[in-house]
């Protein structure tokens, strides 16, 4: 698989102080939301404490652990695993400070190396947070489910079709074992987005015809090379910029936008993807975008470009028979105009929980109550749609869903829904 060229912007070499400052806001959110959380119900193990293990101790993993602590006062973060010792040390330092008594992970339960995920799973955890780079996700999902753990699975779920199929097969076993799975496609729990989708599915703009999801953004973070690092270690630490670890920007980054776009269509998947031109703001280069085509004649144009510079622009628009919707502003234009937070006379001061916190709340509430949460099919389907588009871009040719993504059967194109499920 081709690697993304080694061209980056400025170095982002974080000091310990910078790292702590970057995540202090999460700690504040955790303390502010804790009083409202669900504590009723019986935990499956008969224990008031829910033991959480973290696999992947970078920024996203540390944030996920803090959100788990905020989601339920009974959470205890008891095990950690990562490929690099300094990642574990930085994460543990922040979690000890921000999670307080909810951090119960002594040095002997901080595991290092490629097999650290197995040690975390064997450490008596009830829930595991899978936040390692995406190329490891199928291995970690399969192992977690075989070990009988509830899990939070960051997006994307894999970097290729075979990996998604492996995850989907493992998740079928999770259903049989009544394990909860919540995905990193957290906009599915974001209150403004959920309300916007509900209105679309209720017919506020009529039948969805097409859509645009485009992003022209800066380069991702980069860790400067160190003398002690080999070239392979440097690439692993900068996994986001290498397709063999991340799946590429179209899959790793843009899968969020693609997930929202197909959600607006009732989770219908495309039948084909064709290379097309990206919007002018991204350079308008031939073949840098993808046009998805759907069985009902609908379409979706998508592109994701990352380049050095301050210019950033995003477009996420749903086009329908009776109007349109801006998914980023949560605004409907048409005969029944609406915008989230505006009641016609003023703006609401209510601030909903962030999408990551809302997603983690859903997982902890499911585990605490015993009512299974299963987002596995959606997370696999959205990842596959992103991979379909990346394949069309890489080959410069039309790519058909049925020929490239059809198995397993549960991930075949769904019929549009009239309402949110």
CA-to-CA distance for 92 and 54, rounded, in angstroms? Answer: 11
Q: Is 80 helix (H, G, I), strand (E, B) or coil?
A: strand
CATH architecture designation of domain 16-187? 3-Layer(aba) Sandwich (3.40)
Mean pLDDT (the chain, rounded): 85
> How many H helices and E strands in the chain?
14, 15
pLDDT in tens, 239-285: 999 999 999 999 999 999 999 999 999 999 999 999 998 775 545 45
Query: What whole-number percentage of the chain has pLDDT above 70?
Result: 81
Show Cβ contacts of residue 7 under 8 Å, excluding neighbours closer than 6 positions: 308
Looking at the chain, how many residues does it have?
Answer: 421
Q: What is the pLDDT of residue 307?
A: 80
Residue-range domain boundaries for the chain: 16-187, 191-349+376-411
* Phi, psi angle pair for 382, to nearest 5°: -65, -40
pLDDT band at 287 (very low <50, low <70, confident <90, very high): low
The DSSP H or E segment spanning 304 is strand 299-306
- Please check the confidence at residue 411 and state whether its pLDDT lies above 80: no
pLDDT in tens, 40-82: 334 644 468 999 999 999 999 999 999 999 999 999 999 999 9
Q: Which residue has the higher pLDDT, 391 or 419?
A: 391
E-assigned strands of 178-233?
181-183, 208-217
The mean pLDDT of 124-132, rounded to a whole number, is 98
CA-to-CA distance for 412 and 341, rounded, in angstroms? Answer: 36
Which CATH number is 191-349+376-411's, of 3.40.50.150, 3.30.360.10, 3.40.47.10, 3.40.50.300? Answer: 3.30.360.10
50-55 and 127-130 strand pairing: parallel
Q: What is the pLDDT of residue 419?
A: 28
Q: What is the pLDDT of residue 162?
A: 92
pTM: 0.85
- Please check the confidence at residue 39 and state whether its pLDDT lies above 70: no
pLDDT band at 91 (very low <50, low <70, confident <90, very high): very high
E-assigned strands of 70-221?
75-82, 110-112, 127-130, 150-153, 181-183, 208-217
């Amino acid at each position: 698989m081709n690697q993304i060229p080694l061209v980056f912007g400025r170095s982002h070499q974080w000091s310990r102080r910078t790292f702590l400052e970057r995540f202090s806001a999460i700690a504040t959110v955790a303390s502010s939301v804790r009083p409202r959380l669900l504590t009723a119900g019986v935990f499956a193990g008969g224990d008031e404490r829910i033991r959480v293990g973290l696999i992947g101790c970078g920024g996203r993993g540390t944030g996920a652990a803090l959100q788990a602590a905020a989601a339920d006062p009974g959470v205890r973060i008891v095990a950690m695993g990562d490929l690099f010792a300094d990642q574990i040390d930085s994460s543990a330092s922040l979690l000890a400070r921000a999670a307080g008594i909810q951090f119960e992970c002594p040095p002997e339960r901080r595991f290092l190396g490629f097999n650290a995920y197995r040690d975390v799973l064997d450490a008596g955890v009830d829930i595991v947070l899978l936040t390692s780079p995406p190329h490891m996700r199928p291995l970690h999902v399969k192992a977690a489910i075989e070990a009988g753990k509830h899990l939070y699975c960051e997006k994307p779920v894999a970097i290729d079709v075979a990996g998604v199929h492996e995850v989907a097969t493992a998740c079928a076993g999770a259903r049989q074992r009544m394990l909860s799975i919540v995905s990193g496609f957290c906009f599915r729990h974001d209150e403004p987005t959920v309300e916007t989708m509900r209105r679309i599915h209720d017919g506020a703009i009529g039948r969805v015809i097409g859509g645009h999801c485009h992003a022209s953004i800066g380069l991702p973070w980069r860790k400067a090379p160190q003398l002690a690092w080999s070239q392979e270690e440097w690439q692993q630490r900068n996994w986001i910029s290498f397709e063999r670890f991340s799946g590429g920007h179209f899959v790793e980054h843009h899968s969020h936008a693609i997930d929202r776009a197909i959600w607006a269509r009732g989770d219908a998947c495309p039948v084909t993807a064709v290379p097309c031109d990206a919007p002018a703001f991204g350079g308008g280069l031939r073949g840098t975008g993808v046009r998805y085509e759907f069985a009902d004649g609908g379409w979706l144009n998508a592109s994701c470009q990352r380049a050095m510079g301050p210019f950033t622009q995003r477009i996420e628009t749903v086009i329908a028979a009776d109007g349109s919707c801006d998914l980023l502003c949560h605004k409907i234009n048409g005969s029944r105009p609406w915008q989230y937070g505006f009641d016609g006379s003023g703006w609401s001061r209510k601030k909903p929980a962030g999408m990551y916190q809302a997603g983690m709340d859903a997982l902890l509430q499911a585990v605490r109550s015993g009512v299974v949460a299963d987002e596995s099919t959606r997370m696999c389907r959205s990842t596959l749609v992103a991979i379909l588009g990346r394949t069309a871009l890489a080959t410069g040719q039309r790519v058909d869903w049925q020929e490239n993504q059809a198995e397993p059967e549960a991930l075949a194109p769904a019929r549009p829904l009239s309402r949110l499920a």
